[in-house]
């Protein structure tokens, strides 16, 4: 505060708080140390506390940014290990364990070996077909990492199934050899087997532990101090009996709801589909597996067998792919009878070859790599056109084209939409498929370009590549790969959708579900709610504010204004509950009447206003005189004074007030009376069925939409042409006669408005257009109309208060000058007061908008909460705020979902902050100007 | 009042643009103005403005009267009617609603006739027999007889299964039938009911307080053992000693628990002897245990005084008892208590900091661009959606601060969180943050209203700045500060959206403040009136039964908030008068 500064003596004086610093009589009295100390302490405390409090409040925004920030961090591939491997060439399959400590390799001769993931050291060896291995080789092989099951075919034609996995067990510390224990303890539980990234440690992940080879497995020390052992585990079932003896060339398997499904192609070009049936012998408890199979021939172009065979996740579709890009699709929803469902060309160019095909997680989308370096994602979608047997078409949803070198290997994540690709030029890239984003890329050294195997670890945290001689491992640093600005705000083509769309769907019952974080439907919902509530609330609040400040007596104003202001502290949950449980059922009953009321209530007001001009003045003067006589005769009691004032002008005021109060029920009852008639005329007698497009034509909808337009056009026309033309008439006619004329004109104008709207509506309907399904459409009980009503009501107090303050701040001198110059109160209000207060009124609207944007409880309870993008006023929606309230309690901390919800909160925060700041700055500027006037 | 006086003067045609055309002889003759004055006054537009105000006020009045009316009539005991249906059935219950128009919605499950002219919604109760609480009865279904009001139709409010409507048949104690006629049964009921209920309350005390204490002690012992295990490791000597101690404690507690169990069983046996045989309107007989009956009254035999008594008793139960039947019956005392405790905690957190910040901004900071920017920012935070504060509270208080506290102090309870989830403390702090701008703005305004001359006078007399603030500025600004505080309380009491994230729950087993050490349990989740409204109205499985409760809860909440607002106004007025002489 500046009050203490100027009187202070120069700084050399030791006690600046001295009471009288300079004067003829220098007092030696000094401020007692206690007081001085108290003052200093208070100053420090208040400064610290004040600044701290303000900082804490501003921290809210910063904290939101801090949580959201990792969403937009660039992804990286950090080198984690490089080691020599003791085998050469491409194995059939590699499988990484859950913790990325080891991987198993399946070779063509049925050997399965486990290697350490960081050093490439061999840990264990197992052999398929034990005892019966007479140099047979595997002719076909398939493995599903999700279930850990494999199926294989030997070149003698036998089919086998089994399971490969990694068993986890905990070893008591006493059984761990001392040297191993010391080594693990020395490494500490923070050290990783894979080389840790020195630049940036993996955020918020339990550090993987140093490991050692122990009992043909990998031993690790957990952060809790236990010793955890990972071991390779292979189970094999007895060979299956199958029909026919032709050797199996290609094989795939899937887990359907009714058991495992196998699909295999034999060398004679037949596709076989088999469901496995397990039988348990009750006596011996032995399980026998039988195949229930069916087959169908595959059309072989030029007698060539296909290169790839893939069976979808539910076992209901088989894809057969040739290297020239031909794809045949079979519908195998009944495994006993596979049906050919269609053919697709995956590649248009004749010379380009398909180099690799894999399924993405969920086994629905195919990722096809070709020799041009493209990776295309194909998935079936129902487009509505019935050219395929099952109504679905294979669509190319995404194309990832980052290089001209041929794609060599693809590896799809088993839990997300990550896809890793190795190219012929030694580049390795990872992509997020849905957003078509290349997340990161690395290059292999020149000598080791040919990647034989590419694998993603089950947790998506490591990427492994095997070349002929070496093993490469990278840590994937991509906590939120599916998020980008485009994915959040743009249209995204999700699996199974016929086209790119804005979708918000954060959770689902199934495991293979891909969360869809399109914020657009929520932003749309927020805007829809704000728009409709402002449409209803803003005009009412502004008009009421003008009336309060310009036409009400101070005594009435002193009652009315606090009443409305008190409503601002009405809890919004109350309004939400009333909207959902009281208003929504009622509105559903009286919808036509309600829609009509928007026209009839203003009509009633205008009509009564015009009517009151005719005789009110003379009548009130006459009655006034009469009352005067009664009063002087003592026939009236004291209390009657309020009701029957002395002056005729005051009497007229009372009449007007009574009229204004009466007009509302009048308009409403007019609506109720007209309602059924209009419903029969426009909406075929039942507005619900009509909105659902079951009955009637588009006439009613056009009428609804064109009515406001027609009112606007007629009003403009009236003011531009009719009013100037009326002026000479008005001047020459008597007041009463003109009032009659005015009323007649008003009725004619109303008729013209309705006529214009119905003419236009008839014309547009005759053209065959029907707007149902756009702004009006199927009625849902909790909808935008209800929210518009109730939220409009909720924002009325705040808009009203700020607007009224702005209007009252207009100096009285301006009003007085205008009135003195002969302007009527209306002219003063419309041409002097409102323009002066315009910026204040604008700022009141902005503040109301800010309030509507963030309102939670009303929309949560009354909006139905379906994330749709639909302008239909009779349909529900979901706003950002309601979405947070619904989903945040269930979101896992630090997950993508959690951060996206924080982003939604940040959006709300930023939006309201900006809107409010603009409003506040405008308001302050207006206030300054008003004081200057 | 500017309008009438000035308007009269401005009536002449001077403002009309056609001044040169002479007034018509007729109007000159009658001494009135021409029609142009009508055009300049634009009466119709003014009516529209007034109409907007009338509509706003009508909505407010309508809304408030709806809540007040619905809230007040809920507890009024209504007569019980008996309607005989054409198919020989009889339904008995209270009339909840009457509809005359053909209804498009709410197709009731039992509405067999199409297009009923008039239908009644009856609360029929007897859920365990009929599997329904409410039933629509249309005129077409009845046999044409008017509804009867049987004299001995008795309404039983029960602990479970909702209400029961029936005729008393017999009163049994053990196997002895001591009354057979309705009047005698009713007399016996009145004689024994209070006694049985007293026993029941005793039993509840045993179950809730004593058994609860045993459970708590057991949990404490378990946690102590867990702590030893975490500190010294399992099988360490310290742990073994602790384990031995734990086992002795456990044994003692189990003995104590068995004793309590025995007491409870004794009371149960004694109470179960008192039985009431009742008959429904359909003639089905069933037995009600006296201990399960909260209240009963012969609805059609009540005098006005009786009705008022029941009405008052129900209100008392509402504000003092715990909820029953998934919150649709009983009271809301835990919610009131939670609201009060949370609001008080919030106030103690928000007021000192709000006042500090305002003092700094107004008295210590050098005015300039930075301070006005901060002021605008603080002002705007009042407009930031409350849900955003909830998000912040969950992410920052619960997940970061709370989780750290858990790791430091409550490691033995992990992984179940103590402070790492929503609770009283975090809810209060979140709402404190939400209402901080209100307090800062109000305090700043109050400080700004203290005349500069007073400050300068004080400083001129030699007081230090702190003395000036403490003795002169703060007392003078006190009404404004108090107003801000109460407004903040009113806002905080009605907020739900942030509470949904940081700690309000549907049903809290324990109160946040009770008689158990340490008395204030900051980590507990709590019930809240406004959240109660949301939960009842929106998530209740039986929304028809919940509706009356929602209205009464709403009425209570609005009454509290209105009282807070009005007291803000009253305090401001009183303090203003009190400090008025100080003004010079």
Q: What is the tens place of the pLDDT at every residue in B447-467?
A: 988 888 989 999 999 888 899
Specify the DSSP class assigned to residue B156.
E
Going by C-alpha positions, the residue among A343, A807, A290, A915 that lies closest to residue A547 is A807
Q: What is the tens place of the pLDDT at every residue in A867-883?
A: 888 888 898 899 999 99
Q: Which two tokens stand for residue A137?
A: 């080789």
> Residue for token digits 């909160």?
A905
Q: How far is A584 from chain B (nearest CA, A)?
A: 11
Residue B429 lies in a domain: yes
What gap in Å lies between CA A21 and CA B207, rounded to an integer? 74
Both B391 and B298 in a single domain? no
* Closest Cβ opposite residue B533 in set A548, A573, A656: A573
| Whether B373 contacts A58, CB under 8 Å | no
Residue B270 lies in a domain: yes
Residue B372 lies in a domain: yes
Report, as an integer, the average pLDDT of A635-654: 65
Could you give the 3-state DSSP secondary structure of residue A283?
coil
Q: B516-528: string of b/e by CB count within 10 Å (b at 16+)? A: eeeeebbbbbbbb
Specify the DSSP class assigned to residue A582.
I
> Residue for token digits 């409403």?
A668
Identify the domain boundary among B165, B184, B217.
Answer: B165
Give the per-residue pLDDT at B5: 38
Whether residue B271 is predicted with pLDDT greater than 60 in this model: the reply is yes
Residue B112 lies in a domain: yes
Whether residue A514 is predicted with pLDDT greater than 60 in this model: the reply is yes
Angle at A74 between CA A71 and CA A79, to 5 degrees: 125
| Whether B47 contacts A655, CB under 8 Å | no
Nearest residue of chain B to residue A798 (CA atoms): B383
Both B377 and B439 in a single domain? yes
Instruction: Tell me whether residues B12 and A822 touch, CB distance under 8 A.
Output: yes
Residue B333 lies in a domain: no
Whether residue A312 is predicted with pLDDT greater than 80 in this model: the reply is yes
Instruction: Tell me whether residues B497 and A570 touch, CB distance under 8 A.
Output: no
Residue numbers of A between 556 and 585 with CB closer than 8 Å to B: 560, 563-564, 566-567, 569-574, 576-578, 580-582, 585
* Closest Cβ opposite residue B18 in set A727, A830, A909: A727
HEC letters along B373-429: HHHHHHHHHCCCCHHHHHHHHHHHHHHHHHHHHHHHHCHHHCCCCCCCCCCHHHHHH
Q: What is the tens place of the pLDDT at every residue in A899-924?
A: 999 999 999 999 898 888 888 888 88
Nearest residue of chain A to residue B505 (CA atoms): A889
Identify the domain boundary among B165, B196, B218.
Answer: B165
Both B390 and B525 in a single domain? yes
**Is residue A421 very low, low, confident or very high in pLDDT (cuts 50, 70, 90)?**
very high
- A924 neighbourhood in chain B, CB within 8 Å: 376
Specify the DSSP class assigned to residue A261.
E
Instruction: Tell me whether residues A660 and B497 touch, CB distance under 8 A.
Output: no
Nearest residue of chain A to residue B102 (CA atoms): A589
- A15 neighbourhood in chain B, CB within 8 Å: none
Q: What is the tens place of the pLDDT at every residue in A131-190?
A: 555 667 888 889 988 888 999 888 777 888 888 989 888 888 888 888 887 777 766 544
- The residue among B5, B39, B50 with the most chain A CBs within 10 A of its CB, best to mutate, is B50
Q: What is the tens place of the pLDDT at every residue in A765-823?
A: 888 888 887 788 888 888 899 999 999 999 999 999 989 988 988 888 899 999 999 88
Both B402 and B257 in a single domain? no
- The residue among B385, B401, B417, B486 with the most chain A CBs within 10 A of its CB, best to mutate, is B385
Both B427 and B458 in a single domain? yes
Both B498 and B386 in a single domain? yes
Cβ-based neighbours of A26, under 8 Å, separated by 6 or more = none
User: Across-strand partners of A116?
Assistant: A102
Whether residue B27 is predicted with pLDDT greater than 80 in this model: the reply is no
- DSSP string of A715-736, one letter each residue: HHHIIIIIHHHHHHHHHHSBHH
Specify the DSSP class assigned to residue B523.
T
Whether residue B7 is predicted with pLDDT greater than 70 in this model: the reply is no
Residue B124 lies in a domain: yes
Identify the domain boundary among B146, B165, B184.
Answer: B165
Please provide residue A841's backbone torsions phi and psi, each rounded to the nearest 5 degrees: -65, -40
- A553 neighbourhood in chain B, CB within 8 Å: 1
Give the per-residue pLDDT at B109: 45
- DSSP string of A785-825, one letter each residue: HHHHHHHHHHHHHHHHHHHHHHHHTS-HHHHHHHHHTT--H
**Is residue A198 very low, low, confident or very high in pLDDT (cuts 50, 70, 90)?**
very low
Residue B136 lies in a domain: yes
- The residue among A6, A46, A591 with the most chain B CBs within 10 A of its CB, best to mutate, is A46
| Whether B276 contacts B189, CB under 8 Å | yes
Mean pLDDT rounded to a whole number for chain B: 82
Q: Which two tokens stand for residue A113?
A: 């070996």
Q: What is the tens place of the pLDDT at every residue in B114-139?
A: 454 678 888 888 888 888 888 888 87
Please provide residue A210's backbone torsions phi and psi, each rounded to the nearest 5 degrees: -65, 150
Whether residue A669 is predicted with pLDDT greater than 90 in this model: the reply is yes
**Is residue B65 very low, low, confident or very high in pLDDT (cuts 50, 70, 90)?**
very high
CATH number of the domain enclosing B473: 1.10.3720.10
In this predicted complex, what is the ipTM? 0.85
Taking one residue from A and the other from B, the number of pairs with CB-CB distance under 8 angstroms is 424
Residue B316 lies in a domain: no
Both B364 and B495 in a single domain? yes
CATH number of the domain enclosing B113: 2.30.30
Q: What percent of chain A has pLDDT over 70?
A: 90
Both B535 and B437 in a single domain? yes
Specify the DSSP class assigned to residue B277.
E
What gap in Å lies between CA B234 and CA B223, rounded to an integer? 14
Whether residue A526 is predicted with pLDDT greater than 90 in this model: the reply is yes
**Is residue A640 very low, low, confident or very high in pLDDT (cuts 50, 70, 90)?**
low
Q: How far is A605 from chain B (nearest CA, A)?
A: 6
Residue numbers of A between 409 and 448 with CB closer than 8 Å to B: none
- The residue among B33, B56, B454 with the most chain A CBs within 10 A of its CB, best to mutate, is B56
Least confident of A628-637, B232-241, B424-433, B534-543: A628-637
Least confident of A546-560, A788-802, B99-113, B277-291: B99-113
Both B265 and B351 in a single domain? no
* Closest Cβ opposite residue B3 in set A19, A50, A825: A825
Whether residue A125 is predicted with pLDDT greater than 70 in this model: the reply is yes
Contacts 24+ apart (CB under 8 A), A485-491: A485/A72, A486/A435, A487/A434, A487/A435, A487/A517, A487/A518, A488/A517, A488/A518, A488/A519, A488/A900, A488/A903, A489/A518, A489/A519, A489/A520, A490/A518, A490/A520, A491/A518
Q: How far is A589 from chain B (nearest CA, A)?
A: 7
Least confident of A62-66, A299-303, A668-672, A852-856: A299-303
Whether residue B11 is predicted with pLDDT greater than 70 in this model: the reply is no
Residue numbers of A between 32 and 71 with CB closer than 8 Å to B: 35-36, 38-39, 42-43, 45-47, 49-54, 56-60, 63-64, 67
Least confident of A405-409, A614-618, B243-247: A614-618
Whether residue B550 is predicted with pLDDT greater than 70 in this model: the reply is yes
What gap in Å lies between CA A283 and CA A277, rounded to an integer? 18
Domain membership of residue B84 as a residue range: 80-165
Instruction: Tell me whether residues B385 and A881 touch, CB distance under 8 A.
Output: yes
Specify the DSSP class assigned to residue A894.
T
- Number of domain units in chain B: 3
Tell whether A653 is within 8 A of chain B (Cβ).
yes
Q: How far is B198 from chain A (nearest CA, A)?
A: 37
More confidently predicted of A680 and A629? A680
Whether residue A13 is predicted with pLDDT greater than 70 in this model: the reply is no
CA A873 to chain CA centroid, Å, is 20
Side-chain-side CA neighbours of residue B157 (13 Å): 16
Whether residue B427 is predicted with pLDDT greater than 90 in this model: the reply is yes
Q: What is the tens place of the pLDDT at every residue in A461-512?
A: 899 999 888 889 998 988 888 888 888 998 998 888 888 889 898 887 676 6
Both B120 and B190 in a single domain? no
Q: Which two tokens stand for residue A629?
A: 């006589």
Instruction: Tell me whether residues B15 and A827 touch, CB distance under 8 A.
Output: yes
What gap in Å lies between CA B467 and CA A35, rounded to an integer? 8
Torsion of CA A684, A687, A690, A691, to 10 degrees: 150
Whether cis (ω within 30° of 0) applies to the bond prior to A135 is no
Q: What percent of chain A has pLDDT over 90?
A: 22
Could you give the 3-state DSSP secondary structure of residue A71?
helix
Report, as an integer, the average pLDDT of A743-761: 91
Both B250 and B101 in a single domain? no
| Whether A580 contacts A782, CB under 8 Å | yes
Whether residue B500 is predicted with pLDDT greater than 50 in this model: the reply is yes
Going by C-alpha positions, the residue among B45, B54, B44 that lies closest to residue A608 is B44
- The residue among A45, A49, A51, A53 with the most chain B CBs within 10 A of its CB, best to mutate, is A53
Both B344 and B466 in a single domain? yes
| Whether A101 contacts A208, CB under 8 Å | yes
């Amino acid at each position: 505060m500046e009050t203490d500064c100027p009187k202070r003596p120069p700084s050399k004086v030791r006690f600046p708080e001295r009471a009288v610093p300079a004067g003829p009589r220098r007092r030696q009295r000094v401020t007692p140390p206690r007081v001085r100390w108290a003052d200093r302490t208070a100053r420090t405390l208040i400064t610290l506390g004040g600044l701290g409090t303000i900082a804490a409040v501003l921290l809210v925004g910063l904290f939101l940014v801090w949580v959201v920030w990792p969403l937009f961090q660039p992804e990286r591939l950090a080198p984690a290990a490089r080691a020599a491997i003791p085998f050469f060439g491409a194995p059939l399959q590699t499988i990484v364990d859950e913790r990325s400590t080891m991987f198993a390799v399946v070779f063509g001769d049925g050997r399965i070996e486990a290697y350490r993931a960081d050093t490439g050291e061999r840990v264990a060896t197992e052999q398929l077909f034990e005892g019966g291995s007479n140099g047979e080789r595997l002719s076909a092989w398939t493995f599903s990492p999700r279930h850990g099951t494999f199926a294989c075919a030997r070149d003698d034609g036998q089919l086998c199934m089994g399971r490969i996995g990694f068993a986890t067990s905990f070893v008591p510390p006493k059984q761990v050899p001392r040297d191993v224990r010391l080594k693990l303890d020395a490494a500490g539980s923070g050290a990783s087997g894979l080389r840790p990234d020195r630049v940036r440690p993996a955020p918020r992940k339990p550090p993987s532990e140093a490991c050692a080879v122990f009992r043909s497995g990998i031993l690790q020390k957990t952060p809790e101090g236990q010793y955890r052992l990972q071991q390779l585990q292979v189970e094999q079932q007895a060979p299956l009996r199958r029909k026919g003896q032709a050797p199996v060339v290609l094989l795939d398997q899937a887990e359907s709801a009714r058991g495992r499904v196998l699909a295999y192609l034999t060398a004679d070009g037949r596709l076989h589909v088999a469901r496995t049936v397990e039988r348990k012998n009750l006596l011996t408890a032995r399980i026998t597996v039988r195949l229930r199979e069916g087959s169908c021939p595959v059309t072989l172009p030029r007698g060539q067998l296909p290169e790839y065979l893939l069976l979808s996740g539910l076992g209901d579709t088989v894809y057969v792919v040739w290297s020239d890009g031909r794809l045949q699709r079979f519908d195998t929803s009944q495994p006993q009878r596979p049906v050919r469902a269609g053919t697709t060309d995956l590649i248009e160019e004749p010379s380009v070859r398909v180099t690799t095909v894999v399924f993405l997680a969920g086994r629905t989308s195919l990722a096809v790599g070709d020799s041009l370096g493209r990776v295309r994602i194909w998935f079936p979608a129902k487009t509505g056109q019935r050219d395929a047997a099952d109504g679905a078409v294979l669509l190319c949803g995404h194309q990832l084209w980052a290089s001209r070198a041929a794609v060599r290997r693809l590896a799809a994540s088993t839990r997300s939409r990550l896809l890793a690709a190795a190219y012929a030029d030694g580049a390795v890239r990872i992509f997020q498929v849905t957003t078509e984003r290349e997340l990161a890329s690395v290059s292999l050294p020149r000598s080791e370009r040919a990647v034989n195997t590419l694998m993603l670890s089950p947790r998506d945290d490591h990427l492994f590549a095997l070349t002929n001689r070496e093993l490469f491992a990278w840590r994937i640093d991509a906590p939120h790969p599916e998020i980008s600005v485009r994915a959040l705000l743009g249209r995204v083509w999700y699996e199974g959708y016929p086209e790119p769309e804005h979708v918000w769907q954060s959770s689902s019952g199934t495991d293979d579900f891909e969360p869809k974080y399109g914020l657009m439907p929520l932003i749309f919902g927020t805007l829809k709610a704000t728009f409709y509530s402002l449409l209803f609330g803003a005009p009412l609040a502004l008009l009421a504010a003008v009336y309060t400040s310009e036409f009400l007596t101070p005594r009435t104003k002193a009652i009315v204004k606090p009443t409305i202001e008190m409503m601002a502290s009405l809890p919004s949950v109350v309004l939400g509950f009333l909207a959902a449980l009281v208003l929504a059922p009622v509105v559903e009953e009286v919808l036509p009447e309600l829609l009509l009321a928007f026209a009839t209530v203003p009509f009633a007001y205008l009509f009564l206003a015009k009517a009151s001009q005719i005789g009110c003045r003379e009548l009130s003067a006459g009655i006034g005189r009469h009352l005067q006589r009664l009063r002087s005769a003592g026939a009236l009691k004291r209390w009657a004074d309020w009701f029957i004032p002395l002056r005729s002008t005051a009497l007229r005021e009372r009449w007007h007030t009574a009229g204004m109060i009466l007009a509302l029920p009048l308009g409403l009852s007019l609506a109720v009376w007209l309602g059924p008639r209009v419903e029969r005329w426009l909406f075929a007698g039942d507005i619900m069925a009509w909105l659902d497009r079951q009955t009637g034509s588009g006439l009613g909808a056009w009428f609804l939409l064109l009515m406001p337009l027609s009112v606007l056009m007629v009003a403009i026309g009236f003011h531009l042409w009719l009013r100037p033309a009326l002026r000479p008439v008005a001047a020459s006619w008597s007041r009463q006669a003109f009032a009659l004329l005015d009323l007649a004109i008003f009725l004619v104008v109303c008729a013209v408005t309705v006529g214009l709207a119905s003419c236009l509506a008839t014309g547009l309907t005759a053209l065959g257009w029907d707007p149902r399904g756009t702004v009006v459409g199927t009625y849902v009980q909790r909808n935008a109309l209800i929210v518009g009503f109730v939220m409009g009501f909720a924002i009325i107090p705040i808009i009203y208060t700020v607007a009224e303050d702005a209007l009252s701040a207009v100096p009285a001198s301006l009003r007085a000058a205008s009135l003195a110059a002969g302007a009527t109160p209306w002219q003063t209000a419309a041409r002097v007061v409102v323009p002066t207060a315009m910026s204040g009124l604008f700022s009141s609207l902005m503040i109301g908008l800010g309030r509507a944007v963030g309102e939670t409880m009303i929309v949560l309870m009354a909006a139905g909460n379906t994330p749709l993008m639909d302008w239909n006023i009779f349909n529900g929606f979901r706003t950002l705020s309601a979405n947070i309230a619904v989903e945040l309690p269930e979101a896992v901390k630090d997950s993508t979902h959690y951060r996206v919800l924080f982003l939604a909160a940040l959006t709300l925060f930023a939006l309201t902050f900006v809107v409010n700041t603009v409003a506040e700055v405008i308001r302050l500027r207006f206030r300054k100007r008003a004081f200057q006037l | 009042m500017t309008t009438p006086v000035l308007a009269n003067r401005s009536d002449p045609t001077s403002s009309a643009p056609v001044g040169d055309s002479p007034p018509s002889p007729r109007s000159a003759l009658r001494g009135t103005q021409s029609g142009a004055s009508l055009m300049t006054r634009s009466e119709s537009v003014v009516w529209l403005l007034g109409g907007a105000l009338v509509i706003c006020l009508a909505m407010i009045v309508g809304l408030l009267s709806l809540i007040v009316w619905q809230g007040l009539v809920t507890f009024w005991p209504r007569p019980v009617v008996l309607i005989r249906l054409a198919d020989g059935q009889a339904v008995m219950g209270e009339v909840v609603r009457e509809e005359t128009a053909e209804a498009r919605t709410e197709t009731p499950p039992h509405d067999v006739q199409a297009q009923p002219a008039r239908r009644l919604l009856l609360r029929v109760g007897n859920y365990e027999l009929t599997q329904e609480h409410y039933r629509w009865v249309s005129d077409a279904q009845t046999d044409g007889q008017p509804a009867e009001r049987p004299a001995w139709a008795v309404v039983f409010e029960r602990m479970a299964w909702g209400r029961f409507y029936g005729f008393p048949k017999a009163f049994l104690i053990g196997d002895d039938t001591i009354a057979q006629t309705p009047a005698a049964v009713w007399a016996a009921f009145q004689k024994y009911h209070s006694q049985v209920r007293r026993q029941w309350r005793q039993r509840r005390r045993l179950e809730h307080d004593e058994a609860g204490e045993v459970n708590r002690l057991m949990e404490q012992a378990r946690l102590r053992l867990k702590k030893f295990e975490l500190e010294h490791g399992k099988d360490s000597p310290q742990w073994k000693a602790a384990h031995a101690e734990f086992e002795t404690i456990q044994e003692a507690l189990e003995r104590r628990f068995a004793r309590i169990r025995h007491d409870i069983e004794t009371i149960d046996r004694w109470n179960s002897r008192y039985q009431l045989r009742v008959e429904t309107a359909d003639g089905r007989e069933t037995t009600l245990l006296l201990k399960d009956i909260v209240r009963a009254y012969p609805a059609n035999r009540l005098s006005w005084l009786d009705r008022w008594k029941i009405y008052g008793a129900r209100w008392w139960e509402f504000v003092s008892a715990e909820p029953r039947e998934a919150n649709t019956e009983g009271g809301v005392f835990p919610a009131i208590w939670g609201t009060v405790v949370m609001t008080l905690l919030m106030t103690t957190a928000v007021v000192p900091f709000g006042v500090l910040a305002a003092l700094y901004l107004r008295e210590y900071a050098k005015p300039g661009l930075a301070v006005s920017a901060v002021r605008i920012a603080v002002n705007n935070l009042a407009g930031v959606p409350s849900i955003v504060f909830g998000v912040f509270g969950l992410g920052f208080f619960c997940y970061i601060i709370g989780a750290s506290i858990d790791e430091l102090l409550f490691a033995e309870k992990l992984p179940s969180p103590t402070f790492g989830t929503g609770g009283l403390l975090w809810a209060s702090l979140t709402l404190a943050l939400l209402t901080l701008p209100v307090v800062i703005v109000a305090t700043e305004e109050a400080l700004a209203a203290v005349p500069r001359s007073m400050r300068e006078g004080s400083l001129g007399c030699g007081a230090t700045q702190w003395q000036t603030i403490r003795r002169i500025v703060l007392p003078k600004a006190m009404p404004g500060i108090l107003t801000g505080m109460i407004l903040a309380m009113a806002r905080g009491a009605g907020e739900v959206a942030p509470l949904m994230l940081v700690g309000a729950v549907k049903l809290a087993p324990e109160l946040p403040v009770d008689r158990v050490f340490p008395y204030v349990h900051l980590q507990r989740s709590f019930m809240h009136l406004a959240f109660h409204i949301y939960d009842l109205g929106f998530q209740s499985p039986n929304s028809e039964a919940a509706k009356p409760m929602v209205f009464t809860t709403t009425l209570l909440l609005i009454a509290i908030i209105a009282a807070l607002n009005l007291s803000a106004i009253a305090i401001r007025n009183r303090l203003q008068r009190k400090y008025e002489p100080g003004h010079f």
